[in-house]
């Protein structure tokens, strides 16, 4: 391809709308354009990267027995109702001219289960792995980071069907391998963490997370064992907290006019935040409930919900809090609080003489003590793990990192097949429910993740496997005959050898060509400049700017060797996962 | 691929929901499955065909300078409003959680023009051809024929941007060629016809129609010249009709109790339908208007609208007709009809002493005559052309055929760029509007069109270029060692040579394998049966069932030669269009 024919509108200015480096670079390099909040179009170079990512994940999913299909995005409400998911918050819904409702597919468990219940009736047709690479829709409240959290995005979603749990375990491991190899081939490091299942549900699930400071997911990693979990999921457990030996002091009410936050109260009372217990009031499936946690901790809402078996958890509003406690928000406390179930984090057990709200305007209690002043209805692990917390699996310490969740795999079991009566006839003549797994890999999110971790201040640094071109030949001065001849020769010889190559023969200054080449992030740059008169070109690697002079006679072969070596590195990384897997 | 691993749920029974042969065969062969009215999922074999069609049209569009992008399906209402298309009837609309409205993309003129107005500001960046292959949505009132008229479908849509009309002409011809070559390579014959532009608009447009008796489009073809038009568009023109020489008889009112249809009235009055003039009352942009056409003719509503410059044309309801004529539906006539504009088809000019409604219940007029009894406000070409009509371009005769519109190309000019202020700076320093073209090719509709024209009672007969597999090797008895060895050898040798081949090694009766092979329509069948003991297999062509015995040693090479020959035929057909084009 010649750059003069290519539509790649690069931007010199930093777009104001973009917070993240990846988002800025994808806009500046002319890879994507915004259409609406969280809705993007992919321009030629961006879509080339997307197609290369798609082809890698297609090959890897095929390799573990996946069969590619394409399901519809317009999913009838009736199907969602069968599994009680029609009210999933982020579903875009629309009514057709006949008054029938549809949800725009954010996931396809119902559709694929409907296909399978009609067409797969015998154990002899199992296991089955059906997958698609498709545009998904999500009525996201907070679109963010370009294609990282979008309202329309491209995803691979795979669904496996097995006779039993042993079959599911194998299918799940195969898809784990397909995902691990896909990430490796795309040139991104990742970690696999325990995670929240969200509205997909199921028994067990893991996320593939690309570590990046700009990621919106927080993950906790043990410094000793291989425990790793999304902060939403990360367990702390009952660490065997002993009651405090501190002598109990008399309970007192103190005036704290206008002091509502932990910081205000503790500074006013001159105590550390560890001496305060927060009383957070929620409505859980319609009933009031309070979470008690230490002043310097955050509540982990998913863990809190899960511990209480709650389907719908909402923070109580100011009116509800006034009705329940008799005071404004900021003055709630457990002492004398009636009609509200009290769930306390295990850690509270070891506290004594602590501060709480007094359930009265502008007042707190000090020297509050368990047992004497109030009793807890249930102890639970409900606080958010944080940097420095102990590992729940060993004696190690957790440290926190940020990351981008780019893949998520689930053991669903019979959740969907039971709800939708998707059964098969097993060898023993009995009707059984299909045992399912599902596996999602965000293609457009992976694009952004690569951009986030594989770039520098000058632009993108694409891994060779997903680069929009493998090589760009910069013809610095198209008027110079020696340069033109050298550039075209290398360009054509590379094309003959099967390389994906761009020739920048535009009528632009050299500086523009160098800047654009860096911005586009094509991994190998070949410069046809003054050296061309001596029958040479310069090859530079985008990643480290290392440069080498090549004679024109050997240039194409040398460059092909570099392409092969870069590809080999990525394949070797993928093959290491296959080796690990074969040893399992 | 081995058939035992492939998900292709064939059906023995003819599905009740399907009227058309293509729809039945695509369901029976396990290519597609219905999710809702006009909404389908593509199973592995159907999606393989789709991907092969996509790759062909991608290559052909790339070859004429197209650059592939992917635009979003969620198109903000504001963009549609800029071009006054937010109220297009078939647009699916949805509201997001923030209360903003979006239309689900049925076409992308607005989105692509928005990209271009922001990023293409100089004549030096033109011409530009951006295209995508994408899922589209359409709130179709009458989904029909499986993927022929669907509510969710796959389409290639290309948009060209030029400096001027001469540039557009060239871009249009290039895309014409890309489409012609695409159809030829997919193995379908087509005709190109003049057509209605519909809500896309523009100055000139043509449809690529696949002739098929089951098609819902009617096209008229001249038997002498190359005139061809969709019946919605087909011109007749003012054929220079002379007033009748027949002496005028006195006007009379006759009682026609309960006679409302042309057939009832003419039978009752014992006159031919050619002696009656129908008075069809419409509301055109809010005002009443009547179309007068001969009793045996049909009104062509698009031509009628166009002749009157009408944006919205609706048939008048019974109440409106009663208000305007004083009578029930079925008794309207032009004589004495006030407040209704009268537009008559040219053909009426040569009629005399004809029958019309009397604007009175149960009565008609006979011996009505032009000039004497009423005057026409405007003469126009408003009737539908039909089989046997004269050609508007030569002395030939039109004959009617049915077809499936699978492509539609438009010269838009500045319609969208003017509305959206999409301008560029031309060489002369002036701001000018981009001159646009747009080009749509229905991928899923082409799938159905191929199925409609390339099949027989036993199943599909895929052209080699889009077949789900090029070859299927039928291992009749997997228990027979000679057969198994022969089948696997041919299968593996074909794979080594790069063929796309299926091995049917299932534990099924031979009859099932033969029936499935015919149903799947893979163009080359190789049978490893009794002949295997003699070191032979049989090769059969699906199209004509011609069979040849091949020795195992030569089988793979012979089959590769047949594949190459079949592909060559399709490429030759495509190349003939390139030759024609290069002579233009």
B29 with B460: CB under 8 angstroms?
Answer: yes
Residues A186 and A52 in one domain: yes
DSSP type of residue B242: P
Tokens representing residue A494 in the block: 């590379």
Judgement on whether residues A203 and A63 belong to the same structural domain of the protein: yes
Indicate if A446 and A481 belong to the same structural domain: no
The verdict on a CB contact (< 8 Å) between A44 and B67 is: yes
What is the structure's pLDDT at A344? 97
Given A7, A40, A119, which is nearest B67 (Cβ)? Answer: A7
- Examine the domain organization and report whether B171 and B297 are in the same domain: no
| CATH code of A320's domain | 3.90.960.10
Place of tokens 């990512």: A53
Tokens of B525: 């069948």
> Does residue A74 fall inside a structural domain?
no
Residues B65, B204 within the same domain: yes
Same domain for B156 and B269, yes or no, is no
Residue B38 CA, chain-centre distance (Å), reads 16
Going from the C-alpha of A231 to that of each of A281, A301, A348, the distances in angstroms are 22, 11, 20
* B7 vs A contacts (CB less than 8 Å): 67, 69, 119-120, 125, 128, 130
For residue A106, give every residue at least 6 positions away whose Cβ sits within 8 Å of its Cβ, in sequence order, or none: A88, A90, A91, A92, A136, A137, A138
Return the CATH number at A197: 3.30.930.10
* pTM, entire model: 0.91
| pLDDT at position B275 | 96
B536 found inside a domain? yes
Find the CB nearest A73 among B5, B42, B135.
Answer: B135
Q: What HEC string does B460-523 produce? A: ECCCCCCCCCCEEEEECCCCCHHHHHHHHHHHHHHHHCCCCEEEECCCCCHHHHHHHHHHHCCC
What pLDDT does A410 receive?
96
| Contact at CB, A35 and B111, closer than 8 angstroms | yes
pLDDT recorded at residue A67: 98
At A455 the pLDDT is 95
B486/B554 Cα distance (integer angstroms): 12
Pairs across A and B, CB distance < 8 A: 138
Contact A423, A433 (CB under 8 A): yes
Among A107, A90, A73, A112, CA closest to B92:
A73
- At residue B410, the 3 state secondary structure works out as strand
pLDDT under 70: residue ranges of chain A: 583-584
The predicted structure's pLDDT at residue A15: 81
The domain containing residue B300 runs over which residues? 252-380
* Token representation of residue A555: 């240039």
Q: DSSP labels for B54-84? A: HHHHHHHHHHTT-EE-B--SEEEHHHHHHTT
User: Based on the domain organization, do A216 and A268 belong to the same domain?
Assistant: no
Our measurement of the distance from residue A31's CA atom to the centroid of its chain's CA atoms, rounded to an integer in Å, reads: 21
Q: Give the residue from B446, B412, B418 showing the smallest Cα distance to B433.
A: B418
Q: What is the secondary structure of A44-105 as a DSSP string?
A: HHHHHHHHHHHHHHHHHHHHTT-EE-B--SEEEHHHHHHTT-TT-TT--EEE-TTS-EEEEP
- Is A63 contained in some domain? yes
B76·A119 Cβ contact <8 A: no
Q: How far is B411 from chain A (nearest CA, A)?
A: 22
If we measure between CA atoms, which residue out of B147, B582, B28, B85 comes closest to residue B404? B147
The verdict on B226 and B339 lying in the same domain is no
pLDDT digits (tens, 9 = 90+) for B177-223: 999 999 999 999 999 999 877 777 777 899 999 999 988 899 999 99
User: Do the beta carbons of residue A160 and residue A128 sit within 8 Å?
Assistant: yes
CATH of the domain at A511: 3.40.50.800
Q: Is residue B575 part of a domain?
A: no
Min Cα separation B182/chain A (Å): 21
Q: Helix, strand or coil for residue B528?
A: strand
B374 and B513, same structural domain? no
Interface confidence, given as ipTM, is 0.91
User: Does residue A106 sit within a domain?
Assistant: no
pLDDT tens digit sequence for A502-529: 999 999 999 999 999 999 999 999 999 9
Domain assignment present for residue B4? The answer is no
d(CA A486, CA A507): 17
**Whether A94 and B96 lie within 8 Å, measured CB to CB:** no
- In terms of domains, do B445 and B478 share one? no
Q: Within a domain: residue B122?
A: yes
**What local confidence, expressed as pLDDT, does residue A554 receive?**
96
Q: How many CA atoms lie within 13 A of B513 on its CB side?
A: 24
A74–B130 CB contact, under 8 Å: no
CB contact under 8 A, A94 and B97: no
Measured between CA atoms, how close is A32 to chain B, in angstroms?
9
What pLDDT, on the 0 to 100 scale, is given for residue A584?
59
CB atoms within 10 A of CB B375: 10
Cβ burial of B584 (10 Å; 0-12, 13-18, 19+) is exposed
Domain end (from B380, B407, B442):
B380
Assess whether B44 and B143 both reside in one domain: yes
Residue A188 lies in a domain: yes
Number of structural domains (chain B) is: 3
Chain B nearest-CA distance from A557, in A, is: 26
pLDDT digits (tens, 9 = 90+) for A311-370: 889 999 999 999 999 999 999 999 999 999 999 999 999 999 999 999 999 999 999 999
The predicted pLDDT at position B584 comes to 59
Positions of chain B with pLDDT lower than 70, given as ranges: 583-584
What pLDDT does A311 receive? 82
């Amino acid at each position: 391809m010649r750059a003069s024919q290519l539509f790649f509108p690069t931007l010199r200015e930093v777009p104001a709308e973009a917070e993240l480096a990846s988002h800025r670079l994808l806009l500046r390099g002319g890879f994507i354009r915004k259409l609406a909040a969280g809705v993007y179009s992919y321009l030629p170079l961006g879509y080339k990267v997307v197609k290369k990512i798609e082809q890698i994940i297609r090959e890897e999913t095929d390799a573990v027995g996946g069969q590619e299909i394409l399901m519809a995005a317009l999913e009838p409400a009736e199907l969602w109702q069968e599994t009680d998911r029609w009210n999933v918050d982020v579903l875009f819904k629309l009514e057709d001219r006949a008054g029938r409702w549809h949800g725009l597919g954010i996931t396809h468990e119902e559709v694929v289960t409907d296909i399978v219940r009609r067409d797969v009736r015998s154990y002899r047709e199992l296991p089955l792995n059906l997958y698609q690479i498709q545009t998904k829709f999500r009525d996201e409240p907070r679109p963010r980071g370009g294609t990282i959290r979008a309202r329309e995005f491209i995803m691979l979603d795979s669904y496996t069907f097995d006779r039993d749990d042993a079959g599911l375990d194998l299918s799940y491991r195969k898809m784990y391998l397909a995902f691990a190899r896909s990430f490796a081939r795309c040139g991104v490091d990742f970690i696999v963490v325990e995670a929240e299942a969200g509205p997909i549900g199921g028994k067990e699930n893991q996320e593939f997370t690309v570590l990046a400071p700009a990621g919106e997911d927080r993950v906790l990693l043990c410094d000793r064992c291989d425990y790793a979990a999304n902060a939403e999921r990360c367990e702390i457990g009952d660490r065997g907290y002993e009651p405090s030996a501190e002598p109990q002091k008399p309970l007192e009410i103190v005036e704290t006019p206008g002091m509502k936050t932990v910081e205000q109260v503790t500074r006013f009372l001159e105590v550390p935040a560890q001496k305060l217990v927060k009383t957070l009031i929620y409505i859980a499936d319609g009933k009031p409930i309070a979470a008690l946690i230490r002043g310097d901790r955050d509540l982990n809402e998913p863990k809190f919900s899960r511990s209480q078996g709650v389907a719908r958890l909402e923070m109580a509003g100011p009116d509800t809090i006034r009705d329940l406690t008799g005071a404004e928000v900021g003055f709630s406390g457990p002492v004398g609080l009636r009609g509200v179930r009290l769930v306390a984090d295990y850690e509270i057990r070891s506290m004594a003489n602590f501060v709480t709200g007094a359930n009265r305007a502008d007042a707190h209690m000090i020297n509050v003590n368990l047992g004497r002043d109030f009793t807890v209805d249930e102890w639970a692990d409900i606080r958010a793990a944080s940097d420095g917390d102990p590992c729940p699996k060993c004696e190690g310490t957790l440290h926190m990192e940020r990351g981008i969740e780019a893949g998520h795999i689930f053991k669903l079991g019979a959740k969907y097949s039971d709800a939708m009566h998707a059964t098969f006839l097993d060898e023993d003549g009995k009707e059984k429910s299909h045992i399912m797994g599902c596996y999602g890999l965000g293609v457009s999110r992976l694009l952004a993740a690569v951009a986030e971790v594989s770039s520098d201040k000058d632009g993108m640094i694409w891994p060779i496997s997903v680069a929009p071109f493998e090589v760009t030949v910069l013809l610095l001065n198209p008027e110079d005959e020696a340069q033109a001849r050298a550039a075209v020769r290398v360009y054509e010889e590379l094309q003959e050898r099967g390389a994906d190559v761009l020739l920048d023969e535009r009528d632009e200054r050299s500086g523009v060509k160098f800047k654009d080449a860096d911005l586009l992030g094509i991994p190998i740059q070949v410069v046809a400049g003054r050296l061309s008169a001596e029958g040479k070109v310069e090859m530079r690697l985008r990643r480290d700017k290392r440069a080498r002079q090549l004679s024109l006679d050997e240039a194409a072969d040398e460059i092909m060797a570099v392409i092969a070596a870069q590809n080999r590195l990525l394949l070797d990384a993928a093959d290491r996962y296959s080796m690990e897997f074969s040893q399992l």
